[in-house]
């Protein structure tokens, strides 16, 4: 390979571009997943560290995502997450837990700082503690998915909207702490 060609390839590898797409899948246990660009092309590697730098430990399959990408010897990789939106069509059917709650109460719920106590993806629920309050807050996996997340880790910082429901205090929206600060 000529010196000029090698130089051009290195230059291309250092250039980043912004891509919008959907999360194909992400596995927090494996530490990576893939994004499919809206414009097509090869799958884009999304590493857990890049997602953590955005302030999340997981992302829901089908979530809309805007990322900076870089072409490398191993293919296209995300270098920075710019935004994540929950998967489309998630809120068309209301959750049974919130059906009997006054819509005004739901729309007036404020974001509260919280930490994950525990979350079991297999069971489909977990609990968080809101700063300064003693009651646990129930988090259902469907609320998590509708919020654009797939899993939570103990101690993870969140910003959640909480309502009093059938099961006591319940999260109706869950945000990664850093993402909530940007809103």
Extract the residue ranges of the chain whose pLDDT is less than 50: 1-2, 4-9, 92-93
Express as a percent the part of the chain with pLDDT over 70: 80
User: What's the confidence (pLDDT) of residue 160?
Assistant: 92
pLDDT for res 150? 87
Note the pLDDT of residue 49: 93
Per-residue tokens: 161: 């909207």
CATH for 3-85, options being 2.40.50.140, 3.30.450.20, 1.10.357.10, 3.40.50.300: 2.40.50.140
pLDDT digits (tens, 9 = 90+) for 50-91: 998 888 888 988 899 999 999 988 899 999 999 888 887 655
Instruction: Judge whether 3-85 and 96-181 match in fold.
Output: yes
Q: Where are the domains of the chain?
A: 3-85, 96-181
The fold of 96-181 is OB fold (Dihydrolipoamide Acetyltransferase, E2P) (2.40.50)
DSSP E strands, 102-141: 111-120, 125-130, 136-140
Give me the torsion for CA of 93, 95, 101, 104, rounded to 10°.
-50
């Amino acid at each position: 390979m000529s010196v000029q060609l090698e130089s051009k390839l290195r230059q291309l590898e250092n250039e980043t571009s912004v891509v919008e797409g959907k999360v194909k899948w992400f596995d927090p246990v494996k530490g990576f997943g893939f994004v499919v660009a809206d414009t097509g092309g090869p799958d884009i590697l999304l590493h857990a560290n890049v997602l953590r730098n955005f302030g999340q430990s997981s992302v829901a399959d089908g979530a809309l995502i805007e990322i900076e990408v870089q072409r490398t010897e191993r293919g296209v990789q995300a270098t920075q997450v710019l935004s994540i939106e929950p998967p489309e069509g998630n809120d068309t059917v209301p959750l049974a837990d919130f059906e009997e709650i006054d819509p005004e109460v739901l729309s007036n719920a404020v974001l509260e700082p919280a930490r994950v106590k525990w979350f079991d993806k297999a069971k489909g629920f977990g609990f968080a503690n809101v700063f300064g309050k003693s009651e646990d807050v129930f988090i259902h996996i469907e609320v998590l998915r509708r919020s654009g997340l797939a899993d939570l880790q103990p101690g993870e910082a969140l910003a959640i909207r909480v309502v009093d429901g059938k099961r006591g205090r319940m999260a109706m929206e869950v945000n990664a702490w850093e993402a909530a600060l940007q809103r």
